[in-house]
Structure 1
């Protein structure tokens, strides 16, 4: 084996061991493909409400005991989703793009989500 091939192989092994370049695992409760999860606290903790394959929209998160409680989100979904500051998808809209997450909402967004839904397009937001 040439020195160059050996060096590349060792470099690739180091990347795998350290986790560099590998996908992050979904937070607890949001491992299923197609889920978009809103969490009560930062770092995907404190309870959650999920948009799933069968529940694609929630017009009032208060019905789930989750009104104005979200502080982080994770999307395991191939299309965009969004949450709004008011019921029935009104007020200010905040996009959650496909396969993204936010471990800590800004001061402006903290505890503001009141409705949420998944879109049928990866470019809806």
Structure 2
């Protein structure tokens, strides 16, 4: 793009100094939030969410009894899953240790470098189509 055209486009942009009708500092561009295709907010209101949490808490004892029943009388896979859920709630999920080894492209074997390059070229081709 030529420099003159770039400057011209910037001059016509609503996002220039002194703009009185674009975004205003400290104000949302969408104060009522995103809407679904039916015009309702995508996220529940605070009142709806609080009611949902209240219903969950009111039924927590039933959920616990259900998990205990499944753990005692369900099929093996169900019993293991229910026991795991109860242990996770009682003691928290176990921490997961991940070891990441990094290599530079130059350190990769030639065949792996070629596969990496081919996948990058394929991704770029898909992007430009």
Structure with the largest fraction of helix: 2
**Larger Cα Rg: Structure 1 or Structure 2?**
2
Task: Indicate the TM-score class for this superposition, using the shorter chain for normalisation.
Answer: under 0.3
Q: Normalising to structure 2: TM-score of the pair?
A: 0.26
Structure holding more strand per residue? 1
Higher relative contact order (CA 8 A, sep 6+): 1
